[in-house]
Amino acid sequence: MTAFWTGFCALYRRELRQDAVSPLAYMFVASFISASVLLAFQVGGLFEAGRAELVAFFQFHPWLFVVLMPALSMRAWSDEARTGTLETLLALPVPTSALVLAKFMAAWTLACLMLVLTTPLWLGLSLLGPVDHGATLTAYLGSCLLAGAYLSIGMAASAVSRSQVLSFVIALGVSFLATAAGLPLVSSTLAAFLPLPLTEALASLSMLDAFAGFERGVIEARGLSYFLAVIALGLCLTGLWVDTKRGGQA
Amino acid sequence: MLKLDGLTKTYAGQRGVNSISFEIAPGEVVGFVGPNGAGKTTTLRMIAGTLEPDQGTVQLMGHDVWSNRQTAQAVMGYLPEHAPLYDDMTPRSYLDFLLSARGVARKQRPDLLTQAAKRTQIEDMLDRRIEGLSKGYRRRVALAGALAHDPPVLILDEPRDGLDPNQKRVTQALIRELSPGRIILISTHQLDEVANLCSRLILIAEGQVRADQSPADFAAQDPEGRIEDVFYRLTAGPSPTASNPDEAQT
């Protein structure tokens, strides 16, 4: 194996093991499952709709992820910098890209596992009526990509500062803006100050807009490329900021 | 061969390390001494590939640390300042993580791990959480991490800091045992350690090399052979005194 893969696999396993023994990871998973199910039933009216579909469940994911993904990623790099273990990682004969990807993939694995743990809701619903399994699976795929996009923003924010709190606040702010840009209220407010094409362009960059197709059970090339682009951008920024630490500037 | 040529690092307009050059051949144990803030750790970090120099080069066994970083880091064991560790791991899992990240085959890892644990005398603590270890054990776990892959070059930043006298003696014996055929560079404040252990002493102050000679020749600059007085004379002030540093300041 190359230095990239040996380094990636070693750090990926380490991060997963850290999550496995961390009460925070369990609390995080429990919080997501309980909040998403509660919102789906209490606010989304999952049963009241009278249809065997999970739109009421998925529609809250962007807003839950705005808070939960920065919480999941805030420690990733800031803790390494604070405790000095970043020095140990940077002294390994491993490319920075492998370290960045390993941390991201480990956090994304946990996020995907968290989504998998909500599948009993899907199974339960399928007992009550005919569920469009293809559409539901697509919505799960979209939710995984959405979580990845928010995580990559969180990873980049975590690489900026040694403070977990500051990393969380930065990631929360950026994630909120990237989500709220698609709300009609925000679009109409912005339209009062900005030219219409620019307002529309900003709205089209929203996570909500990219997730909408998946939510309906449609894999749209635009949504897919949007999420992959956000993930790639977040990881590139993380790599740049981690390498900046080698330059002694951050 | 470890070769530094014109190594320079500037922080906020101030030169932390100013054009440092020296060479170390295999078999040499070099004590790297200097007052706080002299640039020792900065120099070691540039050698270890965790901090990029503004100017100058570091060649390690023929590989440039910055243009061929991973190859150079593969032949190096590095103990960073303050011996940072992952508190959630055990020494066994930590050493296994470092070995696997370095691409050591799974079959070889247990033997190398046992050897490093035996050398640093941490066998009885291998399966305890690092979080609960004493400062001395933590330092020895970090040292085990630096030498676990049996590297030909060891860069050690304060390896005996926090150790009790017995542990210091053990560590000194270990470094002596490791020295044949290896390049060992030790940053330390303990001049007695340099006198007893090192074949050569490099003194830096204000980012520049002030002395590069054997500890015996260094001490011989003082009429009474006091290494501390020579250190003081070369680092603390322009007016030297043979025996009382306080007088020199008045």
- State the complex-level ipTM: 0.90
**Any residues with CB less than 8 A from the CB of A247 and at least 6 apart, and which?**
B51, B52
CA distances from B136 to B36, B139, B160, B167 (A): 22, 5, 9, 8
Tokens 């291998």: give the residue.
B126
Q: Which pLDDT does position B71 carry in this prediction?
A: 95
Least reliable range by pLDDT among A58-67, A132-141, B10-19, B154-163: B10-19
DSSP A182: T
Q: Average of pLDDT values for A194-199?
A: 85
Give CA–CA dist B19/B5, Å, rounded. 7
Burial grade of A231 (CB within 10 A; 0-12, 13-18, 19 or more)? buried
Domain boundaries, given as residue ranges, for chain B: 2-75+152-219, 85-151
pLDDT tens digits, B201-247: 999 999 999 999 999 999 999 898 889 999 998 988 554 444 444 44
Q: Average of pLDDT values for A46-60?
A: 81
Q: Which pLDDT does position B189 carry in this prediction?
A: 87
Provide the residue type at B16 as one letter.
G
Give the predicted TM-score (pTM) of the model.
0.91
Tokens 């696999």: give the residue.
A9
Q: Which pLDDT does position B243 carry in this prediction?
A: 43
Provide the residue type at B89 as one letter.
M
**Contact predicate A145/A224, CB 8 Å:** yes
Test A6 with B102 for CB contact under 8 angstroms: yes
Q: Which pLDDT does position A226 carry in this prediction?
A: 95
Q: Which pLDDT does position B239 carry in this prediction?
A: 44
Test B103 with A92 for CB contact under 8 angstroms: no
Test A92 with B101 for CB contact under 8 angstroms: yes
**Is residue A49's pLDDT more than 80?**
no
What count of Cα atoms within 13 Å lies in the side-chain half-sphere of residue A145?
Answer: 27
Say if strands B76-79 and B153-157 run parallel, antiparallel, or are unpaired: parallel
Nearest CB to A92; choose among B45, B85, B102: B102
- C-alpha A240, offset from chain centre: 20
Architecture of domain B2-75+152-219: 3-Layer(aba) Sandwich (3.40)
A90 and chain B in contact, CB less than 8 A: yes
Backbone angles phi, psi at B30, to 5 degrees: -110, 125
**Contact predicate A156/A168, CB 8 Å:** no
Give CA–CA dist B109/B125, Å, rounded. 18
Angle made by CA atoms B103, B109, B115, in degrees to the nearest 5: 125
Chain B hits for A10, CB-CB cut-off 8 Å, are: 97, 100-101
Query: In Å, how far is A82's CA from the nearest CA of chain B?
Result: 10
The pair of structure tokens assigned to B73 is 């880091």
DSSP A40: I
The pair of structure tokens assigned to B37 is 């803030």
Range B135-140 contact pairs with CB under 8 angstroms and sequence separation of 24 or more? B135/B162, B136/B162, B136/B163, B136/B164, B136/B167, B138/B83, B138/B85, B138/B162, B139/B83, B139/B163, B139/B167, B140/B167, B140/B171
Test A21 with B98 for CB contact under 8 angstroms: no
Nearest CB to B50; choose among A21, A83, A91: A91
Residue A68, sorted as left (phi over 0), alpha (psi -120 to 50) or beta, turns out to be alpha
Chain A hits for B70, CB-CB cut-off 8 Å, are: 3, 93-95
Chain B hits for A3, CB-CB cut-off 8 Å, are: 70, 74, 103
Which residues 70-89 of chain A have a CB within 8 Å of chain B? 83-85, 87-88
Q: Average of pLDDT values for A110-123?
A: 95
Nearest CB to B70; choose among A3, A13, A84: A3
pLDDT tens digits, B112-155: 999 999 999 999 999 999 999 999 999 999 999 999 999 999 99
The pair of structure tokens assigned to A183 is 């709300």
**Interface-testing mutation among A92, A97, A162, A242, with chain B (most B C-beta atoms within 10 A):** A92
Q: Which pLDDT does position B20 carry in this prediction?
A: 95
pLDDT tens digits, B16-40: 899 999 999 999 999 999 998 899 9
The pair of structure tokens assigned to A194 is 């900005």
Which pLDDT band holds residue A248 (cuts at 50, 70, 90)? low
Report the share of chain B in percent with pLDDT over 70: 94
Which pLDDT band holds residue A128 (cuts at 50, 70, 90)? confident
**Any residues with CB less than 8 A from the CB of B195 and at least 6 apart, and which?**
B215, B219, B227
